[in-house]
Amino acid sequence: MQCQECGKRPATLHFTKIVNGEKTEFHICEACAREKGELIPGTSGGFSIHNLLSGLMEFHPGFQGQSAQTKPSEPLRCEECGLTYAQFSKIGRFGCSSCYKYFNNRLDPLFKRVHGNTVHVGKVPKRIGAHIQAERKIEDLRRELQDKIVQEEFEEAAAIRDQIRELEKKCSAESN
């Protein structure tokens, strides 16, 4: 990816700025970043790319030994609730159930340390378990339905459609 400022050098800095919920993404090279550093509004003392970099490095121990040219990635963030991984490790609480999905790659060492294990072997909820299975079945049938329509086998398609309706009715009845 080229730097979005000069368009000449490759972009080595990628970060996201969120102001009042408005998200702006930056992909720039180091030279432009140094120039732009003063222009990016931030804290009262002025926003410095170097502060951002050192902040990131302090936080991720894995980055420390690496050279300054290493690409700092934008902070890992749960896209459902907005909690960043940094916030999570500071407060030690997940923000929502999707955090588990977005932070998944980082969680094994943590769970290993806390529990000595990483995988659940206990109770599986009856309905949700069944629900997940039914949803998968419906998805399969929908794909099949598409195929039948493409192949103009309408009679079979109608049968599959009825089957889907049946399953969907069952699902929603169970969840009421």
Partner 1 sequence: MTSLRFTEQPLSEWMSRGGNESEIVMSTRVRIARNLIHHPFPMLSTNQQSEEILHLMEGVLSDEELKQFGKLIPVSMNELEELDKQILVEKHLISPNLANESRNGAVFISEDESLSVMVNEEDHLRIQCLYPGLQVQEAWEKAARVDDIFEKHVDYAFDANRGFLTSCPTNVGTGLRASVMMHLPALVLTQQINLILSAVSQVGLTVRGIYGEGSDAIGNLFQISNQITLGQSEAEIIENLYGVVLQIIEHEKNAREKLLHESRLRMTDRVMRSYGILSHAAIIDSKEAAQRLSDVRLGVDIGLIESLPAQVINELNVMTQPGYLRKQFGENLSPSERDMYRAKLIREKVGN
Binding mask 107-146 for partner 1 (x = CB under 8 A): x--xx--xxxxxxxxxxxxxxxx-xx--------------
Q: Least separation, in Å, of the C-beta of 2 and partner 1? A: 37
Write out 28-69 in H/E/C secondary structure. Answer: ECHHHHHHHCCCCCCCCCCCCHHHHHHHHHHHCHHHHCCCCC
In the bound state with partner 1, the residue whose beta carbon lies nearer, of 6 and 91, is: 91
- Asked if 21 is part of the footprint of partner 1 (rule: CB under 8 A), the reply reads no
Q: Give the residue from 68, 72, 74, 110 showing the smallest Cα distance to 89.
A: 110
Q: How far apart are CA 94 and CA 112, in angstroms?
A: 17
Element spanning 88, H or E:
helix 85-91
Binding mask 70-109 for partner 1 (x = CB under 8 A): ----------xx-x-------xxxxxxx--xx-----x--
Name the site residues for partner 1 (rule: CB under 8 A): 80-81, 83, 91-97, 100-101, 107, 110-111, 114-129, 131-132, 175
